[in-house]
Amino acid sequence: MASHRRPKQPSRTRVTVLTATAAAAVALGAQAAHADPKPSKKDVKAQVDKLYEEAEKATEQYNGAKSKQETLEEQVSTLQDKVARGQEELNELRDGLGSMAAAQYRSGGIDPSVQLLLSSDPDSYLEKASTLDQVSSKQAAAIKQIGDKQRTLKQQREEASTKLTDLSATRKSLGEKKTEIQGKLAKAQQLLNSLTEQERAELAAKEEARAKEAQKRAERSSEDRPTDLGDDAPQSGRASAALAAAKTKIGAPYVWGATGPSSFDCSGLTSWAYAQAGVQLPRMSQDQANAGTRLGMSELKPGDLVIFYGDLHHVGLYAGNGQVLHAPKPGANVRYESINNMPFQFGVRV
C-alpha cells in the first residue's frame, strides 16, 4: 500500500542559508553586470587634466588668502605697536595731571574737577569737563589731551580687534584651500596610479614631447633666442626685462604656491619676472588682471600679461607670434605654448 506520509520539509536553517546564498549570487551577478569598466588612458588623462585645472584655480585662491594674511599680520602688528605707545603716552599724561593735583593739595587743596578726574570713572568726567568753570586753563588742556588720547586708543583697539578677527578667518580659509589643493592632487595621482606602468610612461612621454616641440618651435637651435616669436618688440623696457627673466626659467617645475627662483606656479612666475624688472605685481592672477591696461589679442606685445579662463585663474607672459611663456600646471615645467591652447580672456600691459 502506498505511503501517504508528506515529504520532509527543509529545515528553517537550511532555507535561510539557501536564500542568503541565492541573494548573494544575484547581487554579485548584478554587481558584475553593472561594474564600471576600468577607465581608459584617455579618460584618465582628461580627468587628471581637469583636476589639475581645479587645483590651479584653488592655488590662486590660496595665493590670494596668503597675501591677505601677510598684509593683515603687518597691519595688526603696526596697530598693536601704536596702542602700546599710546597707552604709555596716556599714562604719562595722567601722571602729569596727578602731579598738578599734588601741587594743588600742597598749596591748599585739590580742585574738585581734578578729584573727579582721578576717580575710578574718569570717562564720565571727560564729557562734563568742558562745563566746569573752576578748571584752570592748564588743567583743561591736559584733560582735553587725555580725552583725545583715550578716544584714539579706543579706535585703534577696535580696529586691531577687527583685523585680528579677519586674520583668523583668513588663516582658516588658507588651511581649507591647502587641503583642497592637496586633495585634488592626491586624487589625480590616484587616477594615474590606476594605469599600468606602460600607460603612465606613454602619458609622460607625450607631455614631454609636447613641451619639447613647443620649445623647439620657439627657439633657434643655433642661438639662444626665439625664432618663430616674430619681430614684435616689447612695448616697454620693463616688459622686455620681465620676459627676458622668465626665459631663464624655462624648464623650472610648476609647484603650487611657489614664487621662485627654482619653481613657480603661474602667477608666481609672472610676479617674479616683473620683480626682476623692478615692478611689484599682485600675487594673485585675478589681481594681476587689473594691474594695467587691458588688451585684445591683436594688441599684444612681448612681455604683456595674458589672462586665461573665465574666472581669470591662469596667467602667463606673451612671448610673440601667438606663443605664451608660462608655468602650465602640476607635473609640467615652465615652457612656451600656443595662446590658443587655453581660453584667452584678455592681455594686460603693465
pLDDT one-digit tens code per residue, 120-177: 565 655 554 444 444 567 777 888 888 888 899 999 999 999 989 999 999 999 899 9
Q: Give the up-direction half-sphere exposure of residue 270: CA atoms within 13 A in the CB hemisphere.
A: 35
- How many Å apart are CA 246 and CA 270, to the nearest integer? 8
pLDDT above 70 coverage of the chain, percent: 73
Mean pLDDT throughout 216-225? 47
Average pLDDT, the chain: 80
- How many Å apart are CA 301 and CA 239, to the nearest integer? 9
Mean pLDDT throughout 203-209? 75
pLDDT at residue 286 greater than cutoff 80 = yes
Per-residue pLDDT, 122? 59
pLDDT at residue 10 greater than cutoff 60 = no
Per-residue pLDDT, 223? 44
pLDDT higher at 302 or 109: 302
pLDDT digits (tens, 9 = 90+) for 35-49: 456 677 788 888 988
- pTM, whole model, 2 decimals? 0.65
pLDDT at residue 281 greater than cutoff 60 = yes
- How many Å apart are CA 142 and CA 94, to the nearest integer? 8
Q: Give the up-direction half-sphere exposure of residue 220: CA atoms within 13 A in the CB hemisphere.
A: 7
- CATH T-level fold of 228-349: endopeptidase fold (from Nostoc punctiforme) (3.90.1720)
Q: All 3 cell numbers of residue 80? A: 598693536
Helix, strand, or coil (residue 344): strand
pLDDT at residue 220 greater than cutoff 80 = no
Cα–Cα nearest to 62, from 186, 189, 172: 172
- How many Å apart are CA 314 and CA 306, to the nearest integer? 8
pLDDT higher at 9 or 302: 302
Q: Which residues pair with 295 in a beta bridge?
A: 347
Cis amide bond preceding 261, omega within 30: yes
Tell me which DSSP letter residue 10 carries. Answer: P
Per-residue pLDDT, 146? 86
pLDDT digits (tens, 9 = 90+) for 71-87: 999 999 999 999 999 89
Cα–Cα nearest to 59, from 253, 254, 252, 256: 256
Identify the band that residue 117 occupies on the pLDDT scale cut at 50, 70 and 90: low
Tell me which DSSP letter residue 263 carries. Answer: -
Per-residue pLDDT, 197? 84
CATH code 3.90.1720.10 region(s) in the chain: 228-349
pLDDT higher at 117 or 346: 346
Least confident of 61-70, 225-234, 334-343: 225-234
Residues belonging to the active site: 266, 314, 326
Mean pLDDT throughout 316-325? 95
